[in-house]
Amino acid sequence: MNKHVLHLVLARLVIAVITLVIVSFTVFAATVLLPGDVVEILLGQAATPEAVAGLRAAMHLDDPAIWRFFRWLAGILTGNFGISYANNMPVADLIGPRLLNSLKLAGITTVFSVPIALSLGISAAMWRGSWFDRAVTVLSIGVVSVPEFMVATSAVLVFAVYLKWLPALSFANEIHSFGQMLRVYAMPVITLSFVISAQMIRMTRAAVIETLNTPYVEMALLKGASRARLVLRHALPNALGPIVNAVALSLSYLLGGVIIVETIFNYPGVAKLMVDAVSTRDLPLIQTCAMLFCMVYLLLITTADIIAIVSNPRLK
């Protein structure tokens, strides 16, 4: 790795760290501005003013917001995510099992959707202008136009209500066989695959077509290289950076889609936990879940940018 590439990688990492600090401040400010008083929610409407004031002081909610922010940020950096207001237990203990479930769902969706999307995108670029390319383009545009909640609701109506093939709710903790795993994850994975595959197909197709239009690929075509050799040997390695960016951006849509999917299918993941925490104004839990989503998104985008920088032949 030459000095120029190393400088670009380090600069991207510095930008990621600065972005994370800005995001942490935004997340904290947004949760503080949520309507409702968490103390009154915890104590109920019959609470006396003395009890409200005492609990507020015990929870340090009377401290200036800036001091609470730095105290919370220091806890995040040291692995202390605080105590859940509603559950009276460490936030890390609440998130741990839920995070494992969300990672399972994201992993299965990635393994299922990424190979299919990349194959369709690359094949459409290879035979651009053909009926196959037009069919894939129309299908991907149609899928992009449908919101996630519509896909999830339609899947429940078709597969759970009318056909009765799959359960309407996904109980990830009740899996004892491979068949049960398929039944539990089928509809959430299908819904999330709709969310990410269409964008990945279109971006991969565009990246490969752009590379196919370069002079060195046209020279290989004039020398008699086959279509498969043009794509796999000449175009694909040089389109690796844009394709990785396409995959990372598409996988980042999982963060938005998983909130809807986990809520509709009652899947016990981090997104469902955060939605439940919002209803009880459990600020430490909301803040930790939101930061977790932001960190995963930033990690995906930063990794894609670094791979694009390292794999760019012009920078070498």
Angle between helices 270-279 and 283-311 (to 10 degrees): 140
Report yes or no on 236 lying in a domain: yes
pLDDT tens-digit map of 32-70 = 777 666 676 666 666 677 777 777 777 777 778 788 888
Angle between helices 240-264 and 270-279 (to 10 degrees): 50
Domain of 182, in residue numbers: 91-315
**For the chain, how long is the longest CA-to-CA vector?**
86
Report yes or no on 21 lying in a domain: no
**CA nearest to 273, candidates 34, 68, 95:** 95
pLDDT tens-digit map of 120-173 = 988 888 888 889 989 988 888 888 777 777 888 888 888 888 887 877 776 666
Q: Residue 1 pLDDT more than 80?
A: no
**Residues 147-160 as b or e (16 or more Cβ within 10 Å = b):** ebeebbeebbeebb
pLDDT > 70 fraction of the chain, expressed in percent and rounded: 87
**CA nearest to 300, candidates 264, 250, 263:** 250
User: Residue 315 carries which side chain, given as an amino acid letter?
Assistant: L
3-state helix, strand, coil in the chain (%, to 5): 80, 0, 20
> What gap in Å lies between CA 18 and CA 267, rounded to an integer?
33
Q: How wide is the angle at C-alpha 266 spanned by C-alphas 263 and 270, nearest 5°? A: 65
Report yes or no on 76 lying in a domain: no
Report whether 267 contacts 170 (CB < 8 A).
yes
User: What is the token pair recorded at 240?
Assistant: 């690796």
pLDDT of residue 8: 85
Domain count, the chain: 1
Please give the average per-residue pLDDT across 75-93, as a whole number.
83
> What gap in Å lies between CA 158 and CA 161, rounded to an integer?
6
Report whether 32 contacts 64 (CB < 8 A).
no
Report yes or no on 202 lying in a domain: yes
Report whether 241 contacts 308 (CB < 8 A).
yes
> What gap in Å lies between CA 66 and CA 63, rounded to an integer?
8
Report yes or no on 16 lying in a domain: no
209: exposed, middle or buried (Cβ count in 10 Å: 0-12, 13-18, 19+): middle
Report whether 196 contacts 253 (CB < 8 A).
yes
Most confident of 70-74, 223-227, 234-238, 241-245: 70-74
Report whether 265 contacts 170 (CB < 8 A).
yes
Report yes or no on 272 lying in a domain: yes
Q: Which residue has the higher pLDDT, 73 or 62?
A: 73
CATH number of the domain that residue 150 is part of: 1.10.3720.10
Q: Residue 2 pLDDT more than 80?
A: no
**CA nearest to 117, candidates 23, 216, 192, 12:** 192
**CA nearest to 258, candidates 186, 192, 165:** 192
Instruction: Give the mean pLDDT of the chain.
Output: 80
Task: Give 174's pLDDT tier (boundaries 50, 70, 90).
Answer: low
Range name among 67-76, 106-115, 144-153, 174-183 with the lowest pLDDT average: 174-183
User: What is the token pair recorded at 161?
Assistant: 């209500």
Please give the average per-residue pLDDT across 6-27, as a whole number.
89
Please give the average per-residue pLDDT across 180-186, as a whole number.
77
Q: Residue 256 pLDDT more than 70?
A: no
pLDDT of residue 37: 67
User: What is the token pair recorded at 151?
Assistant: 């896909």
Write the DSSP string, 134-148: HHHHHHHHHHHHS-H
pLDDT of residue 316: 60
Please give the average per-residue pLDDT across 258-273, as a whole number.
82
Task: Give 225's pLDDT tier (boundaries 50, 70, 90).
Answer: low
Report yes or no on 153 lying in a domain: yes
Task: Give 224's pLDDT tier (boundaries 50, 70, 90).
Answer: low
pLDDT > 90 fraction of the chain, expressed in percent and rounded: 2
Report yes or no on 63 lying in a domain: no
> What gap in Å lies between CA 89 and CA 5, rounded to an integer?
46
pLDDT of residue 194: 80
